[in-house]
Chains A and B, each alone.
Chain A
Amino acid sequence: QQQVKQSPQSLIVQKGGISIINCAYENTAFDYFPWYQQFPGKGPALLIAIRPDVSEKKEGRFTISFNKSAKQFSLHIMDSQPGDSATYFCAARRDSGNTPLVFGKGTRLSVIA
């Protein structure tokens, strides 16, 4: 049972374009939705996160859009740069404690000049 479904598996975007990665979840008890960024040979690192009390959160060029009724959330990267080339994971967790995160399968983003 895959609790968090992520798409696409890979994405190629031109420099300056918008990268969009989507995730869908099944468990309505989830209440914390982070995105992690992973560069080759490194561990994942938190990029941005959202809770269901807001529909959007923006940090610099990165925006999470959240649709509670559709049980979907997405990451938008504006003005994509070659340095954004990495693997991105969405995740979700129920309760506001430290129950383990459930991760999507990841999206490999390549930003080409």
Chain B
Amino acid sequence: NAGVTQTPKFRILKIGQSMTLQCTQDMNHNYMYWYRQDPGMGLKLIYYSVGAGITDKGEVPNGYNVSRSTTEDFPLRLELAAPSQTSVYFCASSYRDEQYFGPGTRLTVT
């Protein structure tokens, strides 16, 4: 049982490039979330999903897109990367109350 896995661990992007952050969970959780963490700013919700085929915007969705075609996978797409998207990105999943977080992806946009 690997829990929540995220790839890649680190990535450097040039301004204007695109990429997909991968997130997979093997706990059969219906609920999945994407957060970004900036120093001193806590965790801000980007998008979340309550089940396959259903996604909804969080607090900071601009510049990102998601899809949820299966229960296990919840990829986050960055289009036209900007320096403001430099951050650590965490994926999480939950069944009831507890959210289980992945190890994070550290993204730098230069």
Q: Is the interface of A mostly helix, strand, loop or mixed?
A: loop
**B101-A43 in contact (CB<8A):** yes
**B40-A43 in contact (CB<8A):** no
Assess whether B45 is interfacial by the CB under 8 Å rule: yes
CA distance A5 to B53 in the complex (A): 34
Q: Which residue of A6, A44, A100 is within 8 Å of B101 (Cβ)?
A: A44
Residues of chain B at interface, number, CB under 8 A: 25
A89-B43 contact given A43-B103, A98-B96, CB 8 Å threshold = yes
**A105-B42 in contact (CB<8A):** yes
CA distance A43 to B43 in the complex (A): 11
Q: Which residue on chain A has the smallest CB distance to residue B47?
A: A100
**A103-B43 in contact (CB<8A):** yes
Q: Which residue on chain A has the smallest CB distance to residue B104?
A: A43
**A100-B42 in contact (CB<8A):** no
**A98-B50 in contact (CB<8A):** yes
Q: Which residue on chain B has the smallest CB distance to residue A10?
A: B40
Give chain B residues whose Cβ lies under 8 Å from the Cβ of A43: 4, 90, 92, 101-104
Assess whether A46 is interfacial by the CB under 8 Å rule: yes
Contacting B at CB under 8 A, from A32-57, are 32, 34, 41-46, 49
**A89-B50 in contact (CB<8A):** no
Give chain A residues whose Cβ lies under 8 Å from the Cβ of B42: 6, 89, 103-106
Q: Which of A32, A98, A103 has the most CB of B within 10 A?
A: A98
Assess whether A101 is interfacial by the CB under 8 Å rule: yes
**A46-B90 in contact (CB<8A):** no
A95 to chain B, nearest CB (A): 11
Name B's A-contacting residues (CB within 8 A).
4, 30-31, 33, 35, 40-45, 48, 50, 58, 90, 92, 94, 96-99, 101-104
Cβ contacts A to B, 24 pairs, < 8 Å? A6-B42, A9-B40, A32-B97, A41-B103, A41-B104, A42-B104, A43-B4, A43-B90, A43-B101, A43-B103, A44-B90, A45-B101, A46-B99, A89-B42, A89-B43, A98-B50, A98-B94, A100-B48, A100-B58, A101-B99, A103-B35, A103-B42, A104-B42, A105-B40
